[in-house]
Amino acid sequence: MDELTLKTFCLGDLYNNCYLVFHQGLKRGFIVDAPAPIDEVKDFIQSQNLKIDFIALTHAHFDHIGGLDSLPYPTYVHKEDFQFLKDITINGSAFFGFSIIVEKKAKLYEDNQPLYFDKYPIEVIHTPGHTPGSVSLKLGNWLFSGDTLFCDSVGRTDIPLASHEQIVNSIKTKLLILSPDTIVYPGHGASTTIAREAKSNPFLG
């Protein structure tokens, strides 16, 4: 893990976090979520001469997928969110008066199988609730939680196909059991730790 660098980009009107993990020696990396506009990420990749192996989606709401079609990299999504990529009603873009439809073909995470970046396994933890196919991605001591777990909050569930009971259950049974010093990198807002959220998150009492 010491060889890996994590760079965070805050993008778009909803201040989405887009994460770029890369190995400076190998000049390779991968991306977590692809909000729009994605130009800042593309410029950084070009400036560092990086080869991107893939994009890993935490879920497929419009604000996490808007930049996908401008990035020529394989993209992974959970099977339960696959339909969101082309459905403007459930991906949320229609609610804001525009249309986000992803044209590129996405790959599906394999059930109970990690995704690999070079020699590093990325554990794909299915954490439904915000969407049916929400996942949290664990790489070493880093957890990319998407819109499931935030600093002092949890993801919205007043939206189509979401469930508050399900998201709280996902967090309590799949995330809070992780090492307390796990660093949580959410889809919006500041990073946190599992220890902090287990102790003080008001939605998890």
- Whether the per-residue pLDDT at 21 is higher than 80: the answer is yes
pLDDT computed for residue 174 by the predictor: 98
Task: Tell how far CA 90 is from the center of its chain.
Answer: 17
Q: How confident is the model at residue 2 (pLDDT cuts 50, 70, 90)?
A: confident
- Say if pTM beats, i.e. exceeds, 0.85: yes
Mean pLDDT of 75-97: 97
- Whether the per-residue pLDDT at 134 is higher than 90: the answer is yes
Q: Which residues make Cβ contacts (< 8 Å) with residue 185, sequence separation at least 6?
A: 6, 8, 17, 19, 32, 142, 143, 144, 145, 191
65 neighbors 28 (Cβ within 8 angstroms) = no
- Whether the per-residue pLDDT at 18 is higher than 90: the answer is yes
Distance in angstroms (rounded) separating the CA atoms of residues 27 and 190: 27
Q: How confident is the model at residue 83 (pLDDT cuts 50, 70, 90)?
A: very high
Q: How many CB atoms lie within 10 A of CB 165?
A: 9
Q: Which CATH code fits 4-204? A: 3.60.15.10
Mean pLDDT of 70-86: 98
Per-residue pLDDT tens digits for 28-65: 999 999 999 999 999 999 999 999 999 999 999 999 99
- Whether the per-residue pLDDT at 151 is higher than 90: the answer is yes
Q: Which tokens go with 174?
A: 């799949």
- Whether the per-residue pLDDT at 13 is higher than 80: the answer is yes
pLDDT computed for residue 65 by the predictor: 98
Distance in angstroms (rounded) separating the CA atoms of residues 175 and 164: 16
Looking at every residue in the chain, the average pLDDT score rounds to 97
- Whether the per-residue pLDDT at 85 is higher than 90: the answer is yes
Q: Which residues of 143-158 are buried (b: 16+ CB within 10 A; e: fewer)?
A: bbbbbbbbbebbbebe
Where residue 99 falls (left for φ over 0; alpha for ψ -120 to 50; beta otherwise) is beta
Q: Which tokens go with 33?
A: 């979520």
Mean pLDDT of 116-130: 98
pLDDT computed for residue 3 by the predictor: 93
pLDDT computed for residue 1 by the predictor: 76
Task: Tell how far CA 51 is from the center of its chain.
Answer: 20
Q: Within a 13 Å sphere around the CA of 197, how many CA atoms are in the beta-carbon half?
A: 31
